[in-house]
Amino acid sequence: MLNKQRLLTPGPTPLPEEVRLAMARDMVHHRKPAFLPVMQDVRAGLKYLFGTSQEVMPLSCSGTGAMAAAVTNLFAPGEKILCIEGGKFGERWGEICDMHGQVAVRMPVEWGTAVDPEAVRAALDADPGIKGVCVQASETSTGVLHPVKELAQVTGGIGGRDVLLVVDGISAVGISPCPMDEWELDCLLTGSQKGLMLPPGLAFIACSDKAWAKCAKVRPSNFYFQLMGEREKIAKNQTMFTSSVGLLVGLRESLKLFQEFGLENLFRKQWALTMMARAGAAAMGLELLAKDRFTWGLTAIRMPLGVDGSAVVKAAANDYGVVLAAGQGHMKDQVVRLGHMGHVDFGDVLAGLAAFRAAFTASGGFVGCPDVLEQAMNAYAKAMESGPPAK
């Protein structure tokens, strides 16, 4: 098959040539002098990407590992954590708490809807024993963007609370604004395989001064995930355990691209791709799962009655080489997720919409609009010109 495959999933994402070539170089030893400049550059680049003066620590694991590290290092067993459950990954916070002995206070949120900060404020007022709030910046299973900036105002200085806000930025960092220090987030984490344009296998986590003070009081319940130890090591351009050398070499190149391109330009591009995908789906007469607050890295599209989302995804891959993603959990066959994060441009999204439209029609759907792609391109051009809304 000579057709190019286009990976338009919510991760893994396509990789830039510079990153792929960097990872193809000869291996270096993680405890020898040749590795130290790599980590030095990575440290500076991660601080720029996270918008923080704090150290951002790489962990050799998936993003879920960083979620587990946050829970087990910042909260002692028996402490209460408010877990915002608005999707498959929101539910994971509670599962991690259940596994390690923290008490998950679950706040269900309708899938496709962002959490209301006032509801969080009310929950904290009702239970002063809650020590943390765990939430996704971007809920990858639904395409919702939660208002983490506003949540930080509830948990932080304005409210005067002794509550930590832990933010999963796995499908937000490197995709949409999430400046850790400016927004006063206590803990921000992400993974390598989405906005950072790397293969899976690395996670990253940073803590505020407030979070570090709490971390110093909590005995970590996992030998591998020890944030205080990682903090000491990264100051020496090292990691506690064997470093993922190849991925970190690739990360160095990825971060260099971010710095050369600039985050504001990156966010403008991501916003325009989002507007493009949403306009294309709307032109087809389809309903978007996230109506108001939506992530900039993927678009979740509801399937009408009688159209199986998994069948659409299969047809797009088999007939057009475009790899999309179905929904998750109870919405597995009800949603198709079109990813537009990582090393993706307007041509990829245009091809994705074309393949999605054809696969949707082949799976029993009806599209009456003849200029779907034209409407999508017009939306992209308009969004590139105007730029994204203010943070």
Mean confidence (pLDDT) of the chain: 96
The full DSSP string for 280-318 is HHHHTTPPBS--SSB-SSEEEEEPPTT--HHHHHHHHHH
Structure tokens that stand for 61 in this block: 């694991």
Q: Does 384 have pLDDT greater than 70?
A: yes
Hey, where are the domains in the chain? 17-260, 262-386
Beta strands 130-136 and 80-85: pairing type?
parallel
Q: What is the average pLDDT across 6-25?
A: 97
Query: What does the pLDDT read at residue 159?
Result: 52
pTM attached to this predicted model: 0.97
pLDDT tens digits for 63-117? 999 999 999 999 999 999 999 999 999 999 999 999 999 999 999 999 999 999 9
Place of tokens 């900036």: 149
pLDDT band at 206 (very low <50, low <70, confident <90, very high): very high
Specify the CATH architecture of the domain 262-386.
Alpha-Beta Complex (3.90)
Number of other CB atoms surrounding residue 234 within 10 Å: 19
Please count the CA atoms within 13 angstroms of the CA of 380 that sit on its side-chain side. Answer: 20
**Cross-strand pairs, 106:** 83
2 confidence band (pLDDT: 50, 70, 90): low
Question: Does the pLDDT of residue 21 top 80, yes or no?
Answer: yes
Task: Please write the tens of the pLDDT for every residue from 138-174.
Answer: 999 999 999 999 999 999 865 567 899 999 999 999 9
pLDDT of 271 over the 80 cut: yes
Q: Is CATH 3.50.50.60 correct for 17-260?
A: no
Dihedral of CA 303/306/309/312: which sign? negative
Distance CA 291, CA 300 (A): 10
